């Protein structure tokens, strides 16, 4: 696993943020970091969508980064950290990047501005300004069904020319757009899918990996799919994907990250499945389905 690369590759985990009694659960966070550093992942992303970043205040976000970086350093293993950031005011975003400049992260995952729905020129100028001001590399997060705006490929390719923009978390959900981007992107610009259900297909198109919330569970299985495809074992990769595809549906049956947190709580990796409003815990019906899946997995292992 080569973590010296400037462009993200492989399997990245958008880590959940554990809470207990309305506060950051630092003990569970340390447990998560120690656990996942031993798993076949290539990087962690903090305070993004799965990490409920929009519900964290500035102090909590800084503490989240500090604890994670300290815990990683204590393991003696190299694993890059990216910080998730989002907002619709370019000036405020630039100030946030300045505030985080001294934090121990290797880069930033920055979502398209939400709700305001700027033009393509506005998107280009927004990301260019942020990349100019960022102390570390920027990865774009294109997720139009959350933000209300799609960063089109012509704009993305212009941004890919910026020396400080190293890739995209692609959640366009348009296979044609994704394939076109993969065909035309420069060699030093990474495309990682952020759609768990598209992981296998994206890899067969040539994606460099994925940022997958589902990789909290069956981490080795998701990493194995990419490894098998890289080794030319498409049949083996497809067989493994068929086994895991249902898991992605289960973990997104209700708004994420509540199902994932329930799973992690049930297996003892976090002390509480707590989420922050407006997110709510899983329903009793989904909790029963997840519990059954965990029991079946324990039997198989």
Query: How many Å apart are CA 82 and CA 70, to the nearest integer?
Result: 14
User: Do residues 25 and 271 make contact, with C-beta atoms less than 8 angstroms apart?
Assistant: yes
Which amino acids are annotated catalytic?
141, 169
Rounded Cα gap, residues 247 and 252, in angstroms: 9
Among 256, 272, 174, 165, CA closest to 215: 256
8 A C-beta contact, residue 77 and residue 37: yes
Burial class (CB in 10 A: 0-12, 13-18, 19+), 5: middle
Which pair of tokens denotes residue 78? 């190299």
Asked whether 48 and 109 are in contact (CB, 8 A), the reply is yes
Residues 108, 105: Cα–Cα separation, whole Å: 8
User: Distance between CA 182 and CA 286 in Å, rounded?
Assistant: 36
């Amino acid at each position: 696993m080569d973590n010296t690369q400037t462009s993200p590759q492989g399997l990245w985990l958008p880590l959940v943020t554990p809470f207990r009694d309305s506060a950051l659960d630092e003990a569970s966070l340390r447990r998560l970091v120690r656990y996942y550093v031993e798993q076949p992942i290539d990087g962690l992303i903090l305070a993004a969508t799965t990490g409920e970043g929009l519900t964290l205040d500035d102090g909590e976000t800084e503490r989240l980064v500090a604890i994670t970086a300290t815990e990683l350093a204590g393991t003696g293993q190299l694993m890059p950290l990216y910080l998730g950031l989002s907002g619709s005011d370019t000036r405020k975003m630039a100030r946030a990047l300045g505030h985080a400049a001294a934090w121990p992260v290797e880069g930033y995952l920055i979502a398209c501005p939400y709700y305001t729905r700027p033009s393509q020129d506005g998107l280009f100028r927004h990301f260019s300004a942020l990349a100019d001001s960022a102390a570390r590399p920027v990865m774009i997060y294109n997720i139009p069904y959350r933000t209300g705006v799609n960063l089109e490929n012509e704009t993305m390719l212009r941004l890919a020319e910026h020396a400080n923009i190293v890739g995209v978390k692609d959640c366009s959900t348009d296979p044609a757009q994704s394939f076109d981007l993969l065909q035309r992107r420069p060699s030093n610009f990474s495309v990682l899918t952020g759609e768990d259900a598209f992981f296998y297909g994206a890899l067969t198109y040539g994606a460099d990996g994925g940022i997958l919330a589902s990789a909290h569970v069956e981490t080795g299985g998701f990493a194995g799919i990419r490894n098998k495809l890289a080794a030319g074992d498409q049949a083996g990769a497809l067989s493994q994907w068929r086994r895991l595809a249902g898991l992605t549906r289960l973990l997104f049956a209700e708004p994420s990250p509540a199902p994932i947190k329930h799973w992690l709580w049930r297996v003892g990796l976090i002390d509480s499945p707590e989420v922050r409003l407006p997110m709510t815990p899983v329903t009793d019906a989904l909790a029963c389905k997840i519990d059954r899946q965990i029991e079946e997995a324990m039997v198989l292992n």
